Each structure stands twice: as structure tokens, then as C-alpha cells.
Structure 1
Amino acid sequence: MAHVSLPHDAKAGPTKPEVRAVLLSKLDLGPSDHFVEVGSCTGAVTIEAARRAGRVTALERKADRIETTRANLDANDVTADVELREAEAPDGLPEDADALFLGGSRNYEAVLDHARDAGIERVVMNVSRLEVAGAATEAFRERGLLEDVVQFQVSHGYELAGATSFNSDNPVYMLVGGASATDGGER
């Protein structure tokens, strides 16, 4: 995976590289795919997706974060057609997406309704709060979108008294599915 440069700060934490690696594996993007991100923030996921998908549409409700996404896109090697939209989802969501990522939990139920109604094949949502993870899992399930729920935590080593200790990032709950989900979360 190529390095993602994020020289511009959006005053919010980007999706960590290890989480992006799993996310991209679940999305399985190819050059003919149209990828949509809801909540682009720093643009980290948008950049990674733009290196794989043919088209990318990134939505962000805050104008300053759209500018941060744009500046970070400019700082990276991106060849895909990328459209940035200042909109609060579900407004602004295209009808022709192949894959969709929800980077936040705002309005997620309406976004999931859109994904179901538009027949989006691959939908992934990352959640860091336990209560939201439970509610979002049920929302995926109710819409027939749920295929898998993955919980993982990443820790990074640092030197402590001549040995290695670890600092842990927050756990991430990754909800995976799409319009073709069939197994209701059992894998």
C-alpha cells in the first residue's frame, strides 16, 4: 500500500492506515468502480480509494473539511476522476455507486436506505462507539445489507525502559455488506 500524505489537518482523526487496509480489502475496488465516501474529513480514504477505483465521489458537510480533502488529494498521486461535494448525506449521494463507505454515524440510517434502494453492491461503515455499533448493526440487518461485523484494535510499539511496550488505538467496529447480502451477519 502506497503511503498517504496528509499534510493538511481537518481537526479530526483520519481513519488509521491499518484500518484503511482492512477497509480497502472489504471494498475490493477495481478500475471500473464508482466509489462513494460519506464524510471525507482529511481525505485519507478518498485518496486510497482513488488509487484503485475509476471514479470517486466524496461527500463532506463541512466546507473547511472539503478544502482539507482537496489539499490532501493534491499532495498525493491520484489518477481517478474525483468529485468532492459539500453536502450532508443522504443529499448529494449518486445513484450509480458500486461501493460506499460511511466514515461517520451522522444520518447513517438514511444513507443505508439509499444504499439499499440504489442497489449498492459493497457498503462498509466504521464505528468507534459501542452503542452506535449495536444500533448500526441492527440498521444494516433490517435493510438486508449485513454480511459481516469485524471488531479489531491496532497497537503501536514504543520503547519503554529499554523494551517494547504498546499504545493502543481505539477499537473499530467495521460493518460490511451491500445490496447483495444474503447471510445476515453469520460467517
Structure 2
Amino acid sequence: MARQQRAMRTRSLLVQAASTEFDRSGYEGTTLTQINQLAGISMGALTFHFPTKRALAEAVQQQGREQVRDAIADVVAKHRPALATGVALTVTLARLLEENVEVRAAARLARECSRSTWASEWLPVLRDLFRRAQEECGLRPGSDPDALAALAAHLVAGAELQLRDELALRGGAESLAGDSAASPVVQLAQIWRVVLRGIIVKSISEYEQDLV
């Protein structure tokens, strides 16, 4: 049991270190040497758990995807109108990018190494929520739920790019949490306040709790 726990701890340290390096330098710019040095793990132990950089990148992506799925489940489980849930989901995704290096690394690796982007984890959920919002008469007549989902995807992608620019300026700090001036979450919420006034039937005050 003790050996198994040590192995799990070693694997976790390697995935965390790899997330930091992949987030900072991308797939091509990261080496196994950088990862094992950051983790404080021998190269032999690293290659025992992950024989190749590709295998380690896949583990990072899997970890990031699981955290995104857990976040989606938490947001969707709350009882509120579908449109409010969709808005809350985009804010949650931006906050994950802001605070979670594993999610950021998974998003970057998906873009650099996969045929699909990390949006494949959450964009279908957004489309379904905005279509349900139309069925609930939560959107003004003429509003296109698929166009709204595309807008939401662009907002989240923009939050990721903004975050990467801010982190680069700060020399690779792992998080902008607590810095409201630079926060992509704050700016995304501000954009939603403008958008919602043009598409909702009810008062925007009913959505304010999700825009903080």
C-alpha cells in the first residue's frame, strides 16, 4: 500500500510539473529534463511512469479535461434558467483558466497537439443550454441560440488569449487570481452585461450573481 501511495504521489508531482512547463513553453518548447527537474524526480522515475513526452502530455490533457467536466457538472447541477446556466458556465471556464495551471496546459496542448480543441468538452453543453433558453422563452424573439453559443466560445477563447498575454508580461506567474484589473473573468462578465441587455426577456439583475 505504501509503495502504491508513493507511486501515485510521484505521478501526481510529474503531472503537475508537466502542466506548469507545458503551460509556460508549449509542447515543443518543453523537455522531459525540465519536467523532472521541476518535479524533483529522477529521469528514471519519470520514464517509468511516462515513457515519452507524448504520454505525459496526454496525462496532463486528461487531468485538465476531468477538472473541466467536474466544473461543468457543478454549474449544470444548480437550479436556474438555462441562459443563466450558460452564462455561469463561461465565467466558470474563464476562472478555471485563470486559476488552474492544469486546465490552461490542457487547453494549450489540445490546440498544439490534438485534432480537436478543449472547447469540445464544453461547447456542446453551451449549445444545448442556449437552445433550451430559447425553448424557455428566455431569449428575445429572433435571437439565435447557436450564434450565442459561438459568441460564448469566442469570449472564452479571448479570455484564454488575454490570460496568456498577461502571464507572459508577468514572466510566467501561475495565476492572476486576486488581480481584478487584469482578470479575464472580470472583463468577460462586463461583456456579458452588455450582451444580455440585448437578448434577455427578464431583468439583468437576475443574472448578476453569475457575473461576479
Question: TM-score interval w.r.t. the shorter chain?
Answer: under 0.3
Under a length normalisation based on structure 1, what TM-score does the superposition of the two structures give? 0.25
With CA pairs under 8 Å and 6+ residues apart, which has the higher RCO, 1 or 2?
2
Under a length normalisation based on structure 2, what TM-score does the superposition of the two structures give? 0.23
More helix by share: 2
More strand by share: 1
Who wins on radius of gyration, i.e. which is larger? 2
